[in-house]
Amino acid sequence: MADDDIILADLPDDELVLQMHDDLYDGLKEEIEESVHILLDRGWEPYDILTKALVAGMTIVGNDFRDGILFVPEVLLAANAMKGGMAILKPLLVETGAPRMGKMVIGTVKGDIHDIGKNLVGMMMEGAGFEVVDLGINNAVEKYMAALESEKPDILGMSALLTTTMPYMKVVIDTMVAQGIRDDYIVLVGGAPLNEEFGRAIGADAYCRDAAVAVETAKTFVARKHNQMAAGG
């Protein structure tokens, strides 16, 4: 049976959700948008569509990306399909005050204009239910500080693809320390020339080797942060 023969509106809810996982995997944006509308028309809560259909589907994509089954172009297509669904759900989620995983400010550091990796992390983080504020490329320390002040995120993500721009991450972290705000944020760093040792040396919370790892790491740290707050620590 060819995909063209599947009439999405005819599928029962559970089968439609599974079909959405497949469509996300295949990067089919229009199908995802149609399915989101179908579930909304059937009375689904926006948050349930986000978690059970979109986030669950992107989790499969993320795992296969981590395991080398999927590659960057396919993940970008999947993330783009996810974005189509998110665009419909976002205003509804805001209205219903749905719980968020957390918030991340992300940007490539000063002197560096590479953004594919950063964009992928941003899309995957949105796919996992995080709110993402993307500062773009070539960010000076002042821009990061202003974003932390205005956005109040849980996480600051910095990326660099050049060995010459890597040390700038330390400039940002040192500035946070000097301003007494370092401990208020989870700092994640990534990019091809980095490694765990470098992440530790500059005082980041973690180095993430790819977008899938970034999502897993972010979830772990945010959960830990919430637990500490709940415990009054």
Is-contact 85 54, C-beta < 8 A?
A: yes
pLDDT above 80 for 116? yes
What local confidence, expressed as pLDDT, does residue 93 receive?
82
The rounded distance, in Å, linking the Cα atoms of 109 and 171 is 10
State the DSSP H helix or E strand holding residue 199, giving kind and residue range, or none if neither.
helix 196-202
pTM summary value:
0.78
Sheet holding 186-190, edge to edge: 131-134, 103-108, 155-159, 186-190, 206-207
What local confidence, expressed as pLDDT, does residue 129 receive?
83
Give whole-number Cα distances, 233 to 110, 182, 228, in Å: 35, 16, 5
From 3.10.105.10, 3.40.1160.10, 1.10.1240.10, 1.10.287.610, which CATH number describes the 3-96 domain?
Answer: 1.10.1240.10
pLDDT above 60 for 2? no
At a CB cut-off of 8 Å and minimum separation 6, what does 76 contact?
119, 120, 123
Give mean pLDDT, residues 28-35: 98
More confident residue, 212 or 132: 132
What local confidence, expressed as pLDDT, does residue 126 receive?
85
Q: Which residues pair with 156 in a beta bridge?
A: 105, 187
The rounded distance, in Å, linking the Cα atoms of 68 and 131 is 26
Which class in CATH covers the domain with range 103-230?
alpha beta
At a CB cut-off of 8 Å and minimum separation 6, what does 94 contact?
none
What local confidence, expressed as pLDDT, does residue 3 receive?
52
What local confidence, expressed as pLDDT, does residue 1 receive?
42
What local confidence, expressed as pLDDT, does residue 112 receive?
94
Is-contact 85 36, C-beta < 8 A?
A: yes
Fold match between domain 3-96 and domain 103-230: no
pLDDT one-digit tens code per residue, 202-214 = 999 999 998 889 9
Count of Cβ atoms closer than 10 Å to residue 171 Cβ = 15
What local confidence, expressed as pLDDT, does residue 185 receive?
97
Counting residues of the chain whose pLDDT is more than 90, the rounded percentage is 74
- Joined together, the tokens standing for residue 120 give 């992928």
Give whole-number Cα distances, 75 to 57, 93, 98, 222, in Å: 12, 24, 26, 24
pLDDT one-digit tens code per residue, 40-83 = 999 999 989 988 999 899 989 988 988 999 998 999 899 899 99
Domain edges within the chain: 3-96, 103-230
More confident residue, 220 or 116: 220
